[in-house]
């Protein structure tokens, strides 16, 4: 009488053991758990840091920031001098190589606008001067060319951003606050957004984007560029989970327009 229940119990345990899912291995890395490391090893060498130097004019002398000095001038009934002073201003951003043979780099126009010197640093710490080939104001995209074109460059490819959906996983790569190449992850939070800068049709993502990330790529899990990080929305100017990227299709069209303008 006890044989049937025991047989049923054995069958249930056997089925349970067979149906229990095993950990999904990451075949690229050989690790028994998911990791993005193999993907990032392939794409991060094409992401660059950008330093842009601009000249600015100030009419305030540093001495005028001293309240004691200002009171001294006032006691002597002397006018406060307004002497134009030129100084150098450095801004940092990100970009990525889109054509390794020609040394073309894509970034945001606002990163390199009015710069007299542009320095591009690769992941391996090699640095090169870059020439601004042109900008597309409608998309905030700028095209640079490294001079000379380095050997051993790797480039990223554009994805078809029209295929993006809310919920797709994405990675943002850039140089936040100038601390060096950094990778953050998130999802596509929304599509067709308008940024505070006035750009429209943007990708919204919760992948962390901070000052310095501008111009860096937003990539999918296939390693293709789905967007160019361009803006964030936050009360203090830092990330609160709302970042924006120019869709890849817009960025690629802007890239082609700039090249066409050069050739014409």
Our answer to whether residue 51 is catalytic in this structure is no
Catalytic residue from among 51, 136, 140, 161: 140
Beta strand segments in 100-242, E: 104-108, 117-121, 127-136, 141-147, 169-174, 182-193, 202-205, 217-219, 225-232
Q: Which one-letter DSSP state was computed for residue 61? A: -
Q: Give the position of tokens 């060096």.
A: 180
Catalytic residue from among 110, 136, 208, 220: 110
Catalytic residue from among 94, 206, 214, 220: 214
Q: Which one-letter DSSP state was computed for residue 29? A: T
Q: Which one-letter DSSP state was computed for residue 79? A: P
- Are the C-beta atoms of 33 and 26 separated by less than 8 Å? yes
- Residues 146, 149: Cα–Cα separation, whole Å: 5
Our answer to whether residue 160 is catalytic in this structure is no
Our answer to whether residue 136 is catalytic in this structure is no
Catalytic residues: 110, 140, 214
């Amino acid at each position: 009488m006890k044989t049937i229940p025991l047989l049923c119990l054995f069958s249930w345990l056997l089925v349970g053991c067979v149906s229990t899912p095993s950990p999904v291995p990451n075949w690229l890395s050989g690790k028994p758990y998911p990791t993005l490391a193999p993907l990032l090893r392939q794409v991060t060498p094409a992401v660059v840091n950008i330093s842009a130097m601009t000249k600015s004019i100030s009419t305030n002398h540093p001495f005028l920031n001293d309240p004691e000095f200002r009171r001294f001038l006032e006691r002597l009934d002397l006018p406060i001098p307004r002497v134009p002073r030129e100084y150098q201003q450095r801004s940092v951003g990100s970009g990525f190589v889109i054509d390794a043979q020609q040394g073309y780099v894509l970034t945001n126009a606002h990163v390199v606008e009015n710069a007299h010197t542009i320095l591009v640093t690769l992941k391996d710490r090699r640095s090169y001067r870059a020439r601004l080939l042109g900008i597309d104001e409608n998309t905030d995209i700028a095209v640079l060319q490294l001079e000379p074109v380095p050997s051993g460059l790797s480039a990223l490819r554009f994805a078809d951003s029209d295929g993006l959906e809310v919920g797709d996983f994405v990675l943002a790569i850039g140089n936040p606050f100038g601390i060096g190449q950094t990778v953050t992850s998130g999802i596509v939070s929304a599509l067709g957004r308008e940024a505070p800068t006035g750009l429209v049709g943007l990708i919204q993502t919760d992948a962390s984007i901070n000052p310095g990330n501008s111009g860096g790529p937003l990539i999918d899990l296939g390693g293709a560029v789905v967007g160019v990080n361009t803006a964030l929305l936050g009360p203090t100017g830092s990330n609160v989970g709302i970042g924006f990227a120019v869709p890849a299709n817009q960025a690629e069209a802007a890239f082609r327009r700039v090249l066409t303008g050069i050739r014409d």
